[in-house]
């Protein structure tokens, strides 16, 4: 170690890695901190949860960043406290990291909006571990029904009509339509239900009405039971209570309805806004703190200015902050951050997607689906990930109707959050 500024980046997601890479040629020492040893490509987690991709296809070893950047070291751990006077970060491991500049890019967690039973009985889909838990629970539900509950209805409920909910519902419907009749002949595929519940009167809120309508029609054509303008009142161990009191029995409830900053952020001595997100100025600096920045889903601008919680804003913010830190070393500054919107994408299933890409006309169907696949594969963090994802996606879509080889693990009941006893439970 030499005597040069120390930059600590908390979070190895899109924003954190973009900040690290933007400082590749800067005269600084970098420490990248994450609770996991890998980066997760969240937009494709639903493909892991539905048996199309391996978890290794969408994860990237964070220590690999050193292969092209020698001024960075990785430390596995979770930030518990930040002392802004001493300029230190205390990790869960007990290690204390001093910093000259701090970049917070931790991302967010599932927001249950105080719905009774949701945190205990619903399954979120924001991490690799959660995706694997959903996958195992879905296939366990089918296995259990095929052995012990033949002739009975099987239902999977997805709560939330954003991109994650729509994409998950579409993939599960295709699993039901294409694979269940072959893999589970004991079951009546018409009695395997995929239900998507959304409180708003439409899906995909950031999209234009035409794209929303196309997505809803495409899901219905695949046999998804859409419950729009419907509130989830309670999640129970055996299903969800919705609307005016209707109970939907379900073996698996997947929660894809909004996000919130983790509770630990309250202990970091930072200002918080909507969704407990960290408030930043137009240079991504945390309000009231010197040389402390926040990027990605964890931050919100002054006056509740918030960008979509997607990969592109996080990457652009992280790259900007890296450049800002590098410029500050020579006493320079940069103009305020300005987001360049490249558009939004969502897929419903094979040959069906919506694309609102800057500079292109709005697209639906196969052209949008081709763009969605290309963008997501290119955005993966290594050639190995890209090749693996192309092979597995190709095996599913190019051999459509001729292969039914889902990627599965140990099928088991849904693993639930801790109850009042503090012990983990299963259904």
At residue 302, the pLDDT reads: 87
The full DSSP string for 99-113 is -SEEEE----EE--T
At residue 416, the pLDDT reads: 63
At residue 417, the pLDDT reads: 56
Return per-residue pLDDT of the chain as tens, 427 residues. 458 999 999 999 999 999 999 999 999 999 999 999 999 999 999 999 999 999 999 999 999 999 999 999 999 999 999 999 999 999 999 999 999 999 999 999 999 999 999 999 999 999 999 999 999 999 999 999 998 877 889 999 999 999 999 999 999 999 999 999 999 999 999 999 999 999 999 999 999 999 999 999 999 999 999 999 999 999 999 999 999 999 999 999 999 998 999 999 999 999 999 999 999 999 999 999 999 999 999 999 987 777 887 899 999 999 999 999 999 999 999 999 999 999 999 999 999 999 999 999 999 999 999 999 999 999 999 999 999 999 999 989 988 988 898 999 887 777 665 443 333 444 4
Q: Are 345 and 353 in contact (CB under 8 A)?
A: yes
Q: What is the rounded distance in angstroms from the CA atom of residue 109 to the CA atom of residue 263?
A: 9
At residue 380, the pLDDT reads: 94
Local structure of 354: helix, strand or coil: strand
The full DSSP string for 367-392 is HHHHHHHHHHHHHSSSHHHHHHHHHH
Residue 197 has which token pair? 């519940």
At residue 424, the pLDDT reads: 40
Q: Are 314 and 39 in contact (CB under 8 A)?
A: no
* Count of all residues that appear for the chain in the document: 427
Q: What is the rounded distance in angstroms from the CA atom of residue 21 to the CA atom of residue 51?
A: 32
Local structure of 416: helix, strand or coil: strand
CA dihedral 275, 168, 386, 296 (to 10 degrees): -10
Domain annotation for the chain: domains and CATH numbers:
6-35+77-108+261-328 (3.50.50.60), 118-257+343-416 (3.50.50.100)
At residue 415, the pLDDT reads: 66
Local structure of 35: helix, strand or coil: coil
Closest of 41, 37, 43, 14 to residue 106, by C-alpha: 14
Q: How many CB atoms lie within 10 A of CB 152?
A: 11
Local structure of 226: helix, strand or coil: strand
Phi, psi dihedrals of residue 228, rounded to the nearest 5°: -85, 160
Q: What is the rounded distance in angstroms from the CA atom of residue 30 to the CA atom of residue 292?
A: 14
Local structure of 4: helix, strand or coil: coil
Q: Long-range contacts: 405-411, Cβ < 8 Å, 24+?
A: 406/50, 406/51, 406/52, 406/139, 406/175, 406/179, 406/183, 407/48, 407/51, 407/52, 407/53, 407/54, 408/51, 408/135, 408/136, 408/139, 409/132, 409/135, 409/136, 410/136, 411/136, 411/139, 411/140, 411/143
Burial class (CB in 10 A: 0-12, 13-18, 19+), 84: middle
């Amino acid at each position: 170690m030499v005597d040069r500024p120390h930059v600590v980046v908390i979070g190895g997601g899109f924003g954190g890695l973009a900040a690290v890479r933007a400082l590749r040629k800067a005269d600084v020492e970098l420490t990248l901190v994450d609770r996991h040893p890998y980066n997760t490509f969240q937009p494709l987690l639903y493909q892991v949860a539905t048996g199309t991709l391996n978890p290794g296809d969408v994860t990237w070893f964070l220590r690999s960043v050193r292969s092209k950047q020698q001024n960075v070291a990785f430390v596995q751990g979770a930030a518990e406290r930040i002392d802004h006077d001493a300029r230190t970060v205390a990790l869960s491991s007990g290690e204390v990291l001093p910093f000259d500049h701090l970049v917070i890019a931790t991302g967010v967690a599932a927001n249950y909006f105080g719905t009774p039973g949701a945190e205990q009985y619903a399954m979120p889909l924001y991490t690799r571990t959660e995706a694997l838990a959903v996958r195992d629970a879905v296939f366990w539900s089918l296995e259990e029904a095929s052995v012990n509950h033949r002739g009975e209805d099987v239902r999977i409920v997805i709560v939330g009509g954003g991109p994650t909910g729509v994409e998950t519902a579409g993939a599960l419907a295709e699993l039901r339509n294409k694979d269940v009749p072959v893999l589970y002949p004991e079951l009546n595929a018409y009695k395997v239900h995929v239900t998507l519940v959304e409180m708003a009167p439409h899906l995909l809120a950031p999209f234009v009405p035409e794209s929303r309508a196309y997505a809803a029609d495409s899901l219905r054509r695949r046999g998804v039971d859409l419950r729009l303008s419907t509130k989830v009142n309670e999640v129970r161990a055996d299903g969800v209570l919705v609307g005016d009191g209707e109970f939907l029995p379900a073996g698996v409830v997947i929660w894809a309805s909004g996000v919130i900053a983790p509770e630990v952020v309250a202990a970091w001595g930072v200002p918080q806004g909507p969704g407990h997100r960290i408030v930043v100025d137009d240079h991504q600096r945390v309000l009231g703190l010197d040389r402390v920045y926040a990027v990605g889903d964890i931050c919100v601008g002054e006056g509740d200015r918030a960008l979509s919680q997607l990969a592109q804003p996080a990457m652009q913010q992280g790259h900007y902050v890296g450049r800002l830190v590098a410029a500050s070393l020579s006493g320079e500054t940069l103009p305020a951050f300005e987001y360049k919107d490249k558009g939004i994408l969502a897929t419903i299933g094979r040959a069906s997607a919506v694309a609102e890409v800057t500079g292109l006309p709005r697209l639906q169907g196969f052209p949008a689906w081709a763009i969605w696949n290309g963008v997501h594969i290119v955005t993966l963090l290594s050639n190995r990930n890209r090749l693996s994802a192309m092979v597995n996606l190709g095996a599913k879509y190019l051999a459509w109707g001729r292969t039914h080889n889902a990627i599965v693990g140990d099928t088991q009941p849904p693993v639930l959050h801790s109850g009042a006893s503090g012990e983990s439970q299963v259904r």
